[in-house]
Amino acid sequence: MFAHVPQPLFLLVLLPVLGWASPTCYPSPVVQLSLGNCTIPGSDGPTVNSWGIRMGIVNTDDLCVVPSTVVTNTFLTTEDVCAGNGRVDSQGLTLTDPQCRSRRGGFIFRNQSLQGAPTDGLDAANPNWKAFNTNITAAATASLRVFDQVVPMVVGLISSGQQSTASHLGLASGSILLEALKDKQLITARSFGLDVGSRSILAPRRGTLTIGGYDQASLASPWHQYNVVLDKLQERFCPLQVSVTDVTLHGTFFDPKTNTTGQVPEKTIVSRESGTKFCIEPYDNLFRFPSGSLEAVDSFFKSATGWAGGPVSDPHNFSTNLVDLEPGLVYPAAAGSFNATLSITINNEFTVEVPTHELWRPLRGLDAAGNVALDSRFNELQIYGSKAAGYAPVLGKAFLSQVYLFVDYEAKTPNFRLTPLPPGLTATAAVSSASCSTGLSASDKGLIGVGSVLGAIILGGLLYGLYRYCWGPGAKSSKKKPKPKQSDPPSDEGGQPQPPGASPPEGPVEVAAGDGRDNATIRSGGGLRRELLTTPPSSPAGTDPRLT
């Protein structure tokens, strides 16, 4: 139908149609939350001093929640955990009410503020919960505040047990939170990026949780990609599993008697031959090594400090007055300096160096008033002193302080990626992991596509009919014939014919607007002609102004 339509006219029709039919790509939304020290003034009790994300809950107090990749639902702590025997921790110590509140990241009063919900399916959706805690006995519909939006969802309620500190923000595969945020169009991809920051004393740093994407400012190296595993690691459900092929301690020692330093022979904790599987879990604070590795840590510690006692796993053996939330290996500060680093190699291709200030710190805990405090008489290695929960080795926050974690559940094969964090992070740049967002539903896109095709056919037909009527064969010409000039040969309607062999007129020949040569110039060389028409009159002769 368009065979006889001139090219410029065809493009004039086609370009608006293409622009109409092609969906606009809008920036995809993400949600970025701050992660770090979490302080909540108590409305009916003491102030909560914890760590995590401060999350608002409609009709109740805020809570400190910690990201977890092993639970599908979000689990919120209730007032029951700090009532009666709930204040007795796993080591048999009775906590004060302020200590208990801070340890749990605050709690909610479920009977006064939340509507109950059935627990059907929660055990199956959260298999790890039943393995390390009691059964899920209560659930509720809670509305989480995300900036100016309210996101309702079913949450599990923590009313007993000693295996949790703060509430859990569920980010496992099938996460109810990610689904709810996507349904509310607050994100377009079920993914998240995590920088846990640093809880060290010498170089503390806040982190970020970017939901629906990742923080581009936190990327300094290529990604190292691994598949999400929907299976257990020994007795612990763990979707983020990596094969650790080497863990080695490096360090120096200081001899106060001779005032000299020296190199401590490095100590391999996990060998390349073993290829031990580790679980990456941000809810855990410390390194949890296989039981056989703790002897190697103890041996290296004694060589580095010269103290024969070695670190112990229970800080209360030293009569400290602080409640340690997740005890590592503790030793007296008088034992000497432990100047060591830890290198961890994953899959023989990716090595993470954990610096000294992330590997140990002065003993930190909660005092009787629920405040975070230090006991400088003791130091603590960020290595869990007992066997790993479920016998599964874990890389927790001490490891994640050095790497950025991105988890993509939208990928054809769900995967997670690691990359070293760049030094000196000062800003964030959240971007979506979705390639493009048109802001339209699938049905909207289908209707627009059909309408675009029909519109193109109708518009093309109208313009073709207009062309046939005005310029096509048999159309009435409204053009005036050019008036003869003195230098033009006379027409047949006036004057005598030009004698054969007459010389052409001298000087310029004006071309009338309707002359065929003018049309040919516009079609074939109109662009160049338009450029020349824009040449400034003041340009010197022989000078092209585009080259000056």
Look at the block and give the residue holding tokens 């400290």. Answer: 320
pLDDT in tens, 252-303: 877 666 777 888 889 999 887 667 899 999 999 999 998 778 889 999 998 8
Mean pLDDT in residue range 175-187: 96
Checking if the pLDDT of 19 tops 60, the result is no
**311, 360 in Cβ contact below 8 A?**
no
Confidence of residue 467 (pLDDT cuts 50, 70, 90): low
Assess whether pLDDT exceeds 60 at residue 529.
no
pLDDT of residue 526: 30
What per-residue confidence (pLDDT) applies to 294?
87
pLDDT-wise least confident of 125-134, 267-276, 319-328: 125-134
pLDDT 10s digits, 26-73: 678 999 999 999 999 977 779 999 999 999 999 888 999 999 999 999
Tens digits of residue pLDDT in 337-381: 789 999 999 999 899 999 999 999 999 999 999 999 999 999 999
Please check the confidence at residue 2 and state whether its pLDDT lies above 60.
no
Name residues whose C-beta falls within 8 Å of residue 454's C-beta, 6 or more positions apart in sequence: none
Radius of gyration of the chain (CA): 37
- Which amino acid is located at 294 in the chain? L
pLDDT tens by residue, 415-437: 999 999 988 777 788 888 886 64
Predicted local distance difference test score (pLDDT) of residue 347: 92
- Give the span between the Cα atoms of 284 and 395, in whole angstroms: 8
- DSSP, collapsed to helix, strand or coil, labels residue 154 as strand
Helix (H, G, I), strand (E, B), or coil: what is residue 351?
A: strand
**Position 456 pLDDT exceeds 70:** no
Q: Once rounded to an integer, what is the mean pLDDT over residues 106-132?
A: 82
**What percent of the chain shows pLDDT beyond 70?**
70
Expressed in angstroms, the distance from the first to the final Cα of the chain is 47
Question: Does pLDDT of 466 surpass 70?
Answer: no
Q: For all residues of the chain together, what is the average pLDDT?
A: 77
> What is the spatial distance between Cα 359 and Cα 287, in angstroms, rounded to a whole number?
9
In the chain, the domains with their CATH numbers are: 30-187 (2.40.70.10), 216-401 (2.40.70.10)
What mean pLDDT do residues 153-168 have? 88
pLDDT band at 457 (very low <50, low <70, confident <90, very high): confident
- Residues with Cβ within 8 Å of 299's Cβ and at least 6 positions away in sequence, in order, are 267
* pLDDT of residue 438 exceeding 50: no
Exposure of 373 by Cβ count < 10 A (0-12 exposed, 13-18 middle, 19+ buried)? Answer: middle
pLDDT band at 105 (very low <50, low <70, confident <90, very high): very high
Work out the pLDDT band at 139, boundaries 50, 70, 90.
very high
Average pLDDT over residues 127-152: 84
The larger pLDDT score, comparing residue 137 to residue 479, is at: 137
Q: What is the pLDDT of residue 474?
A: 57
The pair of structure tokens assigned to 24 is 């606009």
Inter-residue contact 363 to 378 (CB < 8 Å): yes
Question: What is the predicted pLDDT for the residue at 272?
Answer: 75
Q: CA nearest 348: which of 296, 275, 295?
A: 275
State yes or no: pLDDT of 441 exceeds 60: no
Higher-confidence residue of 18 and 463: namely 463
Q: What angle do CA 436, 437, 443 make, to 5 degrees?
A: 125
CA 125 to chain centroid: 24
Amino acid in position 383: I
CA neighbor of 381 nearest in space, from 332, 319, 420, 323: 332
Query: Rounded mean pLDDT of 382-389?
Result: 77
Tell whether the model's pLDDT for residue 333 goes beyond 50.
yes
What is the structure's pLDDT at 55? 95
pLDDT band per the 50, 70, 90 thresholds, residue 527: very low
DSSP 388-438: PGGG--EE-HHHHTTEEEEEESSSSS-EEEEEEPPSS-----EEESSS-B-
By residue count, the chain amounts to: 548
Cβ partners under 8 Å of residue 73, min gap 6: 122, 125, 126, 139, 153, 154, 155, 156, 170, 176
Q: What is the pLDDT of residue 22?
A: 47
Residue 28 near residue 434 (C-beta atoms within 8 A): yes
In the predicted model, is pLDDT for residue 495 greater than 50?
no
Per-residue pLDDT at 511 exceeds 50: no
pLDDT score for 67: 97
**CA–CA gap between residue 426 and residue 297 (Å, rounded):** 34
Give percent of the chain above pLDDT 90.
41
* pLDDT at position 512: 36
Which is higher by pLDDT, 312 or 7? 312
* Of 86-90, 97-101, 232-236, 426-430, minimum mean pLDDT range: 86-90
Which among 46, 414, 455, 11 has a CA at the least distance from the CA of 230?
414
